[in-house]
Amino acid sequence: MPDYQAEWKRFRQALNEVYDLRAAIALLQWDQEVFMPPKGALARGCQLATLSALAHRAFTAPEWGERLDKLAGADHAISTDERLLIAETRHDYLRATRLPESFVHAFAAAQSAAYEAWAHARAQSDFAAFRPHLETMVELARQKADYLGYEGSPYDALLEEYERGMTVAQLRPLLADLAAAQGALAGRIAANNPQPDAGWLEQEWNEEAQWKLTCRVLRDMGFDFSAGRQDRSLHPFTTNFDLCDVRITTRTNPRELFSALTGSMHEGGHALYEQGFLENDRRTTLAEGISLGIHESQSRMWENIIGKSLPFWKRYAPIVRQAFPGQLDAVTPEQFYAAINRVQPSLIRVEADECTYNLHIVLRFEIEVALIEGDLAVADVPGAWNEKMRRYLGIDVPDDARGCLQDIHWAHGSMGYFPTYALGNLYAAQLFEAMSRDLPELWSFVEAGDFGPLREWLRIRVHQVGRRKTAVALLQDVTGQPPSAGPFLAYLTRKYESLYGS
């Protein structure tokens, strides 16, 4: 190519503009869930539809194909980063061009309408009000799979969006194995062991004190409040408009001592990942998480492996006691640790313990695959949900608000997303095992509330990598192994045997 530098500059500029548009879309969505007044929904749907179509158009214009082909085939000496940026952008471009603009437009509008309907339906526990919207989202997801193409199941095409290379054929046995091992562990605990005494949890917990506690822990984790913020929303989430503007949300519940804290640590783990991208990658394809599984490994490591450890509670027991004066005076770190790790099959996924969490995922995965493969009608979702809750968790679902309406994902049309939560658990344990080898004093750092060494380890090996490696390559490089369920099951067994002696 005669003028590689000029072509490269045009490419960067065009790519930056696409990312600026995507940031505006992310802000429209964030505001919709955090601050928008209810009557604003109609116009917001139009705005999201228009901007989504524009962003799609800006990234699928025919000159992109030529431009990327030219850059990829250049005989000019290209740095590794340039080569990677071109390759990753090309991957996204090829995928994006498979979706017609009219489809992207319709999808965004349906998403917006479904979100409003879901929020309302959940509040009223009224599945019938959400049903037509879910039918639309399933139909659109199937169309999307057809546009994207697949070999095995249409669900594979949807999975690819969140976890490149993952398939139903790989996931089905993996999740079945996890379900069997975790179901057996939960069964042993239930059969052989009394629950720890946690009657002291049955109190009212001041929501403002909960909020302040989440901010304190986020600050300790290293979340940079000058490059991000925390707000409240119905369903906690993380988004960013830049590596220096990362927004997380949480929710407080006066009946729950731990849920705001664990929710904030979860989103805080996501946020540290996004604040940790390289400045040079800003407004490009490389300043993104590798896959949702890797993203989730960061949130779950902070929420569960660190936040539900005994050393963490040795540090934070006095701080939490101080946050709720007179309510926890006699509670020891060991009691906090035992209480936060109680195994109790429950209705709500986001509040499930680590022992039963993946069972919630198996249930959702099976329903999603059946919906997408056409083996289940939307009208039958509540029935299927309730039947599987009995089978996997042994509990009855009292209403759809605490059943199939509890999650936001289907309203967003995010079919194929849930399995990445289970993968996140596996990846987190595998990465943490490697970190423990590199930092033998890791638990003393946690007990001292000094998370710097852990964060830096993650920053260098995971965060700053951005999209430079696949999930499989990252895990291989950092842990010396391909993705595996071993470390996670070993971690779970170790934790619960020490807690329940089973």
Residues 223-242 that bind a second copy (CB under 8 A): 224-229, 231, 241-242
Task: Supply the minimum distance, in Å, between the C-beta of residue 296 and a second copy.
Answer: 24
Compare residues 20 and 373 and give the one whose CB is closer to a second copy: 20
Phi, psi of 348 (to 5 degrees): -105, 120
Q: How far is CA 192 from CA 175, 337, 355, 485, 500, in A?
A: 25, 20, 15, 25, 9
CA dihedral 371, 377, 383, 385 (to 10 degrees): 10
Q: How far is CA 107 from CA 67, 140, 154, 158, 407, in A?
A: 28, 7, 18, 14, 19
Task: Please name the residue that has the structure tokens 């309302």.
Answer: 120
Task: Supply the minimum distance, in Å, between the C-beta of residue 38 and a second copy.
Answer: 5
Q: Check residue 37 for interaction with a second copy (CB under 8 A).
A: yes
Residues 207-226 that bind a second copy (CB under 8 A): 224-226
Helices 292-300 and 259-275: crossing angle, nearest 10°?
Answer: 130
Q: Could you tell me which of 365, 366, 345 has the C-alpha nearest to residue 355? A: 345
Q: Check residue 39 for interaction with a second copy (CB under 8 A).
A: yes
Compare residues 231 and 399 and give the one whose CB is closer to a second copy: 231
Please tell me the count of residues contacting a second copy according to CB under 8 A. 38
Residues 265-324 that bind a second copy (CB under 8 A): 282-283
Residue of 33, 160, 163, 267 marked catalytic: 267
Q: Check residue 50 for interaction with a second copy (CB under 8 A).
A: yes
Task: Please name the residue that has the structure tokens 């089905």.
Answer: 172
Q: Could you tell me which of 305, 422, 308 has the C-alpha nearest to residue 357? A: 422
Q: Check residue 44 for interaction with a second copy (CB under 8 A).
A: yes
Task: Supply the minimum distance, in Å, between the C-beta of residue 206 and a second copy.
Answer: 17
Q: Check residue 33 for interaction with a second copy (CB under 8 A).
A: no
Compare residues 52 and 309 and give the one whose CB is closer to a second copy: 52
Task: Supply the minimum distance, in Å, between the C-beta of residue 306 and a second copy.
Answer: 24
Query: Does residue 163 carry a catalytic annotation?
Result: no
For 498, the 3-state DSSP assignment is helix
Could you write out the three-class secondary structure of 424-439? HHHHHHHHHHHHHHHC
Q: Check residue 43 for interaction with a second copy (CB under 8 A).
A: yes
Please give the structure tokens belonging to residue 31: 């505001």
Compare residues 105 and 314 and give the one whose CB is closer to a second copy: 105
Task: Supply the minimum distance, in Å, between the C-beta of residue 55 and a second copy.
Answer: 10
Q: Which of 2, 5, 38, 80 binds a second copy (CB under 8 A)?
A: 38
Q: Whole-angstrom distance between the N-terminal and C-terminal Cα of the chain? A: 67
Q: Check residue 395 for interaction with a second copy (CB under 8 A).
A: no
Q: Check residue 54 for interaction with a second copy (CB under 8 A).
A: yes
Q: Could you tell me which of 353, 354, 318, 344 has the C-alpha nearest to residue 333? A: 318
Task: Supply the minimum distance, in Å, between the C-beta of residue 428 and a second copy.
Answer: 27
Compare residues 247 and 308 and give the one whose CB is closer to a second copy: 247
The piece of 47-55, 185-193, 306-314, 460-468 that touches a second copy (CB under 8 A) is: 47-55
Across 208-299, the runs of DSSP E, i.e. the strands, are 228-232, 238-242, 245-250
Q: Check residue 61 for interaction with a second copy (CB under 8 A).
A: no
Q: Which of 36, 87, 99, 190 binds a second copy (CB under 8 A)?
A: 36
Q: Could you tell me which of 403, 470, 339 has the C-alpha nearest to residue 121? A: 403
Q: Check residue 137 for interaction with a second copy (CB under 8 A).
A: no
Q: Check residue 459 for interaction with a second copy (CB under 8 A).
A: no
Residues 3-32 that bind a second copy (CB under 8 A): 16-17, 20-21, 23-25, 27-28, 31
What is d(CA 410, CA 115) in angstroms, rounded to the nearest whole number? 9
Q: Check residue 101 for interaction with a second copy (CB under 8 A).
A: no
Bridge partners, residue 230, by sequence: 248
What is d(CA 290, CA 157) in angstroms, rounded to the nearest whole number? 17
Which amino acid, residue 6? A
Q: Check residue 51 for interaction with a second copy (CB under 8 A).
A: yes
Compare residues 66 and 279 and give the one whose CB is closer to a second copy: 279
Compare residues 16 and 436 and give the one whose CB is closer to a second copy: 16
Residues 6 or more apart whose CB falls under 8 angstroms from that of 15 comprise: 89, 283, 284, 285
Task: Supply the minimum distance, in Å, between the C-beta of residue 134 and a second copy.
Answer: 26
Q: Which of 1, 6, 42, 348 binds a second copy (CB under 8 A)?
A: 42
**Contact (CB, 8 A) for 201 and 367:** no
**Contact (CB, 8 A) for 324 and 206:** yes
Q: Could you tell me which of 159, 155, 50 has the C-alpha nearest to residue 112? A: 50
Compare residues 43 and 169 and give the one whose CB is closer to a second copy: 43
What is d(CA 395, CA 378) in angstroms, rounded to the nearest whole number? 22
Task: Supply the minimum distance, in Å, between the C-beta of residue 46 and a second copy.
Answer: 6
Compare residues 15 and 372 and give the one whose CB is closer to a second copy: 15
Task: Supply the minimum distance, in Å, between the C-beta of residue 279 and a second copy.
Answer: 10
For 239, the 3-state DSSP assignment is strand
- Positions touching a second copy (CB under 8 A) are 16-17, 20-21, 23-25, 27-28, 31, 35-40, 42-44, 46-47, 49-51, 54, 224-229, 231, 241-242, 244-245, 282-283
Q: Give me the active site residues, please.
A: 267
